[in-house]
Amino acid sequence: MARALLIVDVQNDFTEGGALAVAGGAGIARRISAFLGRHADEYDLIVASRDWHHGDDDNGGHFAGAAEPDFETTWPVHCVAGTPGAEYHPDLDTDPVDVHVFKGQGTPDYSAFQGRTDDDVLLQDVLGEHHVTSVDVVGIATDHCVRASALDALAAGYAVEVLDDLVVGVDTERSARALDEVRTAGGHIGTSDMDEGLANPGGAVL
């Protein structure tokens, strides 16, 4: 009966100044780090995911290429493996992270459950090895990769909680719908204790 924390895509390209910047992304990095400072030892496993795209192809149509991106299924170039944009935001404390998974390597992945470790182990197999039964989800972006990761976790049979003050979305209304989807699928939307003495960075979906 182990519990895991899943930190989704807190990367430079998804924060202010990045190729696909989400307003409030840097603040979420700081909030997650503060949360880890208080609660890391309460988790049996902490996993962080990253987009880790190829730089020499369209990643299965994920990159728009010469066409204009529609920002739904096609996107500007972002999070290319080995570039600064693909690195974790510097305000995210990665010291407590036990496992790192990489997704979107030539494919249009959104869910962290499509991610693999450096040893080519799928996230679900990592969780299985550690006997995880429940997953808390935080990170970027609520209406895209957080949504997909939470729904895949539920589909795989995990108890899931999204901490709504530790996620941030691109679009407020779409993010609210994403959280409703998680609820409908059997997940829980909760709130951390990070507003106790820590200012809201703004932009988070509350």
Catalogue the active-site residues: 9, 103, 145
Decide: 86 and 50 in contact? Cβ < 8 Å: yes
| Bond before 141 cis per omega within 30 degrees | yes
Orientation angle between helical segments 147-155 and 172-184, nearest 10 degrees: 10
H or E segment and range at residue 180: helix 172-184
- CA angle 18/200/196 to nearest 5° reads 140
**Residue 130 and residue 127: Cα distance in Å, rounded?**
5
